[in-house]
Structure 1
Amino acid sequence: MEQRSLALQRFLGGYARLAKLPEPLPATVVLAPLCERVRRWVDERIRIDVDPELRVTADADQLEQVLINLLRNAVEAGGTAPVELIARPENGQARVQVRDRGEGLPSSDSLFVPFFTTKTGGSGIGLVLSRQILEAQKGSLELLSRAPEAGTVAELRLPLAQADG
């Protein structure tokens, strides 16, 4: 009974967060220092390779939350294997990848379905919330296999900030 109650509390808390996603406050964000700050919060062992000049138009607070979620997922999936955070400009967008060396993607089309989870104790809202945040900022989130290597790539794209005229 207690386990069911806890699961219901997680479900309701997750639903409330999904339903009340605040409007983004887009601004120019320099990615390198933001990524370094997130790395320190999540795991110092994460390897960062971010173009120091890369600037995006995004809500910095919401983008931090997305990166925290994706990096935590990658660290959990990869165990002791290194996790990489790579960001480069590509075709007018910033292409940001979080790469792990875990078991890879589960065979499910439900990874972005609210409350679906493959993790024990997971709420099933992290990926959905991350995708919603990015789409509200004219970005995207995709999960890709690293095959033939082990692991997964969470790839997000955001619009590059306009250069000052």
Structure 2
Amino acid sequence: MGLIIVVSIQTWNLINYILKRRDDLKRMLEYIKENNPTMYFSQSRTYPFNELGYFLNEVGDIVREVRIEKENQFRYTQYIVENIRIGLFSFDQNGKIEIINTAAKSLLAIPEIKSVDLLEKVLPGLPDTLKKMNPADQKVIVFKTNGKIQHLAFRLSFFKIGEKEIKVVSFQDIKNELDEKEMESWQKLIRVLTHEIINSITPVTTLTGTIKGFFKSNNNISENTIQQTVTGLELIEERGKALIDFVNKFRSLTKLPTPKFEEVKVAELVRGIEILKRDELAEKNIQLRISLDDETRVIVCDRSLIEHVLINLLNNAADAVCTNTELKGKSITIKSIINNDQRPIICVIDNGSGIPENLQEEIFIPFFTTKEQGSGIGLSLARQIMRLHEGTISVNSKPGVETVFSLVF
């Protein structure tokens, strides 16, 4: 009888303990669900029942630490977003703005805004532009607010949270940078123009003074004087024509035709250039190679303008490999690739003499040339044409090894 009583009491205690631990587990799940930081569970002094209490409290401590770390990380991120000088906002596929920071509201001169479509009132066309932008794109939009002109450069990235697609827009006013770049460009251009004009005017002024001296002297005009005068006038005429030619070339830089955009297969474009230049390059013992990573790739461009750019780059490459007298195997490669931003690139690569690092930006300045017979407008025109295509042209050269001109579309 006593044994039955003892067993009954132990069974009752066990049932109570199990029910209590079930309640503890339920409370723990509720605390986690509600982010309650005060969770604590009593610990039995009897082994092994004390282990569950220890375990539940350890789990509670881990949950608290994770929550605190998450909150600290959120506050840290929020502080950066709010205090960075770059405008930031995000919106979902329905155009609902999730986050917008102080810099964005300041640059756009707006209060809180809930939908990206409402930006139409601030900058007409901006919502549509943002929805169509790709991650690799950059759009510069001129925006005037409170009498101040801003050049806002917009970039976009996106990510997914489950099935929800979020687009993040970053932008900043780059007007000061543009002004500095424009001033620097003008200074370089004026330096080249001054050099070219002085080279033409100085001999004209000198010859004019000499001829004037012939006729101001009291001596009789001899045949020799007449001959020298005619020669001097011919030289003046020659320099005058050279100056007119220079002005006409300068004018051509400002009168580029409006591009007629169409879809063009890169393979067809490149192979058309190959057919056009192959025989001419072969006569100079230059091997022309073609490397295409995708035969089906299409770019939107003005075909004739891009052909003009590629032909100019091939001519420059041919000059470069021909001037390298120590070179045995002369070669030029036209290569088609795609960059990390999924933008198509056409490269013209040669193994010629190369371009010194300090001249790799100078060569794009109008009338700057390293050739004796060069006009100095080819690469400048190429850069303008690529800008009309919202693309870029750049050069990377290792003298004596390889020079790569890249057209990024």
Q: Which moved more, 1:73-82 or 1:56-65?
A: 73-82
Counterpart residue identity of residue 335, structure 2: I
Structure 2 unpaired stretches of 5+: 1-234, 280-286, 323-328
How far 1:8 sits from its partner (Å)? Answer: 2.7
- 1:65 maps to which residue? 308
Distance 1:25 1:11, change over 3 A: same
Instruction: State how far apart, in whole Å, the 2-side matches of 1:113 and 1:43 are.
Output: 29
How far 1:9 sits from its partner (Å)? Answer: 4.5
- 1:161 maps to which residue? none
Identity %: 34
Deviations 1:101-130 (A, max 9, x none): 111113424211101111111110000000
Instruction: State how far apart, in whole Å, the 2-side matches of 1:5 and 1:31 are.
Output: 44
Distance 1:53 1:77, change over 3 A: same
Whether 2:397 is the aligned partner of 1:145: answer yes
Contact 2:313 2:348 in 1 (8 A): yes
- 1:15 maps to which residue? 250
Give me the TM-score of the superposition, normalised by structure 1: 0.86
Instruction: State how far apart, in whole Å, the 1-side matches of 2:365 and 2:405 are.
Output: 16
Instruction: State how far apart, in whole Å, the 1-side matches of 2:320 and 2:298 are.
Output: 29
3-state SS of paired residue (1:43): helix
Whether 2:269 is the aligned partner of 1:34: answer yes
Instruction: State how far apart, in whole Å, the 2-side matches of 1:55 and 1:134 are.
Output: 16
Distance 1:42 1:11, change over 3 A: farther
Instruction: State how far apart, in whole Å, the 2-side matches of 1:110 and 1:131 are.
Output: 12
Matches for 1:48-63 after TM superposition, within 5 Å: 48-50=290-292, 51-63=294-306
Instruction: State how far apart, in whole Å, the 1-side matches of 2:273 and 2:245 are.
Output: 24
- 2:350 maps to which residue? 100
How far 1:69 sits from its partner (Å)? Answer: 0.6
Instruction: State how far apart, in whole Å, the 2-side matches of 1:10 and 1:118 are.
Output: 19
Counterpart residue identity of residue 31, structure 1: V
Deviations 1:32-87 (A, max 9, x none): 11111112222343111123111111111111001011111111111261000000
Give me the TM-score of the superposition, normalised by structure 2: 0.36
Instruction: State how far apart, in whole Å, the 2-side matches of 1:10 and 1:93 are.
Output: 38
3-state SS of paired residue (1:12): helix
Instruction: State how far apart, in whole Å, the 2-side matches of 1:93 and 1:39 are.
Output: 23
Equivalent position to 2:375, from 112, 123, 133: 123
Contact 1:100 1:151 in 2 (8 A): yes
Distance 1:115 1:29, change over 3 A: same
Equivalent position to 1:47, from 276, 284, 289: 289
> If you compute each CA radius of gyration, which structure gives the higher value, 1 or 2?
2
Contact 2:266 2:299 in 1 (8 A): yes
Instruction: State how far apart, in whole Å, the 2-side matches of 1:5 and 1:151 are.
Output: 40
Whether 2:366 is the aligned partner of 1:114: answer yes
How far 1:14 sits from its partner (Å)? Answer: 1.8
Structure number with the higher helix fraction is: 2
Q: Runs of at least 4 residues of structure 1 off by over 4 A? A: none
Q: Which has the higher contact order (CA 8 A, sep 6+)?
A: 1
How far 1:30 sits from its partner (Å)? Answer: 0.4
Distance 1:142 1:6, change over 3 A: farther
Contact 2:355 2:398 in 1 (8 A): no
3-state SS of paired residue (1:32): helix
3-state SS of paired residue (1:103): coil
Instruction: State how far apart, in whole Å, the 1-side matches of 2:267 and 2:256 are.
Output: 25
Counterpart residue identity of residue 338, structure 2: P
Count of aligned pairs between the two proteins: 157
Distance 1:55 1:117, change over 3 A: same
3-state SS of paired residue (1:49): strand
Contact 1:54 1:88 in 2 (8 A): no
Instruction: State how far apart, in whole Å, the 1-side matches of 2:268 and 2:349 are.
Output: 19
Whether 2:317 is the aligned partner of 1:74: answer yes
Q: Which moved more, 1:123-132 or 1:26-35?
A: 26-35
Contact 1:74 1:102 in 2 (8 A): yes
